[in-house]
Amino acid sequence: MKSQQGINLTDDQMRRFICDGVLVLDSGVSESIHQTIYENIQWNNNREFNMGNNVLPRIPALQKVLDSPVIHGGLQSVLGDDYILHPHRFMHASEPLDEDMRDMELTGHENQPPMGKGSSGGSGWHQDSQSPLSRARYHVPRLAMILYFPQDTPIERGPTRVIPGTHLQAGLQESNFPFAFVCDHVKAGTCFLIAFDIAHAAFPNRTDMSRYMFKFVFMRTSHPTAPSWDGGADPWKTPETRLGQYEHTKAWSYIWDWVRGARSEFVDSDSDTDKLISHLNSGDPVTGLNAIYELASMGPRAVDPLTQSLLGHTDRPLERYKKDTRKRAPNEVRKREWNEGAFALQDEAYALGAIGAPAIDSLVTLLQHEDPWIKVNAAFALGEVGPSAGVAMSALAAQLENEHHQVVRAVLDAIGCIGVYTNIALPAIRRLLLRDNPAWQEKLMRGWTGESQVRFNAMCAILNSDIPIVDIEDLLVGTFRDPNGYVPALAIEALTRNGSPQGIRSALTFLKTRRWDDSLANEQRVY
């Protein structure tokens, strides 16, 4: 938990974030800090290599932005007071276009417009992949990102673009592109607080100066039990001003209740269950999402129809995801299946998870199904149920012995979302963290293996759990040897939050040899 008090979001800001998935915030940090950061970026880019995950030790002044009351308050409002910074972070550069291209006319909704040579940001509309490898696309805010601009960025200099509302979609369609949100002018120090799954893209830089943007990912570490912003006492009300193209009132209302720790009431509906189920997993973002939460609002009577419908989605391959090079129709929807970037579950799983406790028994039965894709969906839904699914912890722990790392990864994420009775799964989690599995060593994407993500998810499960950190300090220290640097990063997070004095000393000993020192740089760095 951060020590300083943040400036929390208001009800209106939270409602707009739920609807749009984006808020534009002024960090309130002095201009001199942003100038220092910009100069340090240029120094690094001219002499070294992309900083990657090392942006903070290379440019420590960035922490002043992340710790500012506005940014900290926005993050704790969306993710809870005990949110953490994900080990993955990145600096995106948008370099100037060639002079003969700078007069091109752009509206902001273009897909893959040309970018200047040396740019590191992609201009094609996309929803981000996870790092190291994939995790589920959630409807509720479990992750969020800060996009920070250290320099004034008028539209000619290429600010990052987003498509409001797309964070609740399983994929993108060309019909989304015209609804892009592009700021005419982004002042130095501005941060976009965005939902992790929102569609976004770089924009061409038509000036003669570089444009930089830092991406930081943040994670929730506890299930909400009360509002973490300034408000949350009233039922959902759609904000008067929003940016997205669709109306998702039922989904928004459910998310609002979830994030304020309230339980959405079941309604006595006469809606046609079969018709609603026929709308699931469809190509229409409105019809499909509304069907999920209409079915969820029915409570127990929708559990069996949803379970039977989910069973119709067997035989989805879990092998290494291969990019689909086939040209698709503008609004064609990709079949739901495993994807090592990020994966969307079957709509039935989202609905069963939103129903909550009445769906637990059926989900435990589905967890025993021989088809691994059904197991993945059942585990996800149990995680979405939250702490009341703690009664299923033994069934989930048994699945940590599954031969498919994809199943194990989904189960570990579910255990983290549930957050209670985690001791039942601890022996298996310990084995996953400390013993190598030769069957999971294939490199899948960006050099990462299935075991890399298993161990990361295992650490997330521990961070989100009810296990006292002092009881597992030996396990956490044992993960320091892991070649996946994300794993010891989370272990250090746990130790420095709630560890014993000895555990904290172990963390500091590990960090001492990895401290980054610029003292002998060829030229004086600017700090």
At 1, the pLDDT band (50, 70, 90 cuts) reads: very low
Beta strands in 41-129 (DSSP E): 84-94
- Of the listed ranges 124-128, 194-198, 263-267, 449-453, the least confidently predicted one is 263-267
Residue 74 in domain: yes
Q: What is the CATH number of the domain that holds 56?
A: 2.60.120.620
At 263, the pLDDT band (50, 70, 90 cuts) reads: confident
pLDDT at 333: 60
At 519, the pLDDT band (50, 70, 90 cuts) reads: confident
Helix (H) or strand (E) holding 250: helix 249-259
Asked if omega into 300 is within 30° of 0 (cis), the reply is no
Nearest-CA neighbor of 59 among 212, 248, 269, 274?
212
- 217-239 pLDDT per residue, tens: 999 999 999 999 999 999 999 99
Residue 381 in domain: no
Residue 320 in domain: no
- Of the listed ranges 96-105, 300-309, 518-527, the least confidently predicted one is 518-527
Nearest-CA neighbor of 351 among 198, 127, 139?
139
Residue 441 in domain: yes
Read off the pLDDT of each residue in 458-483 and give the average, rounded to a whole number: 97
pLDDT at residue 84 tops 70: yes
pLDDT at residue 96 tops 70: yes
411, 417, 422, 427: CA torsion to nearest 10: 30
**Cα 199 from Cα 191, distance rounded (Å):** 17
- 40 near 59, Cβ under 8 Å? yes
Read off the pLDDT of each residue in 333-357 and give the average, rounded to a whole number: 92
Q: Is 496 exposed, middle or buried (0-12, 13-18, 19+ CB in 10 A)?
A: middle
- 412 near 458, Cβ under 8 Å? yes
Question: How many separate domains does the chain show?
Answer: 2
**Cα 298 from Cα 306, distance rounded (Å):** 11
pLDDT at residue 526 tops 70: no
Q: For 49, phi and psi rounded to 5 degrees?
A: -135, 170
Helix (H) or strand (E) holding 16: helix 11-20
| Final residue of a structural domain among 174, 197, 219 | 219
What are the structure tokens assigned to 302, written together?
């929708």
Domain that holds residue 509: 386-518
The model's pTM: 0.95
- Of the listed ranges 136-145, 263-272, 390-399, the least confidently predicted one is 263-272
Distances (CA, A) of 311 to 27, 316, 360, 378: 48, 11, 16, 10
pLDDT at 440: 97
At 2, the pLDDT band (50, 70, 90 cuts) reads: very low
**Cα 343 from Cα 246, distance rounded (Å):** 22
Residue 350 in domain: no
Residue 302 in domain: no
**Cα 132 from Cα 129, distance rounded (Å):** 9
- 251 near 289, Cβ under 8 Å? yes
Percentage of the chain surpassing pLDDT 70?
95
Nearest-CA neighbor of 409 among 437, 390, 447, 446?
437
- 18-34 pLDDT per residue, tens: 999 999 999 999 999 99
- 368-386 pLDDT per residue, tens: 999 999 999 999 999 999 9
**Cα 44 from Cα 125, distance rounded (Å):** 28
**Cα 161 from Cα 202, distance rounded (Å):** 6
Residue 244 in domain: no
| Final residue of a structural domain among 186, 219, 252 | 219
Nearest-CA neighbor of 211 among 50, 108, 96?
96
pLDDT at residue 38 tops 80: yes
- 163-215 pLDDT per residue, tens: 999 999 999 999 999 999 999 999 999 999 999 999 999 999 999 999 999 99
Q: For 148, phi and psi rounded to 5 degrees?
A: -115, 130
The helix/strand/coil state of 300 is helix
| Final residue of a structural domain among 219, 253, 273 | 219
Alpha helices in 356-404 (DSSP H): 360-367, 372-385, 393-398
Beta strands in 153-302 (DSSP E): 153-154, 161-163, 185-186, 190-195, 199-201, 211-219
Which amino acid, one-letter code, is at 348?
A: E
- 207 near 156, Cβ under 8 Å? yes
pLDDT at residue 123 tops 90: yes
Nearest-CA neighbor of 289 among 300, 298, 281, 299?
281
Residue 294 in domain: no
Which amino acid, one-letter code, is at 4?
A: Q
343, 344, 348, 354: CA torsion to nearest 10: 100
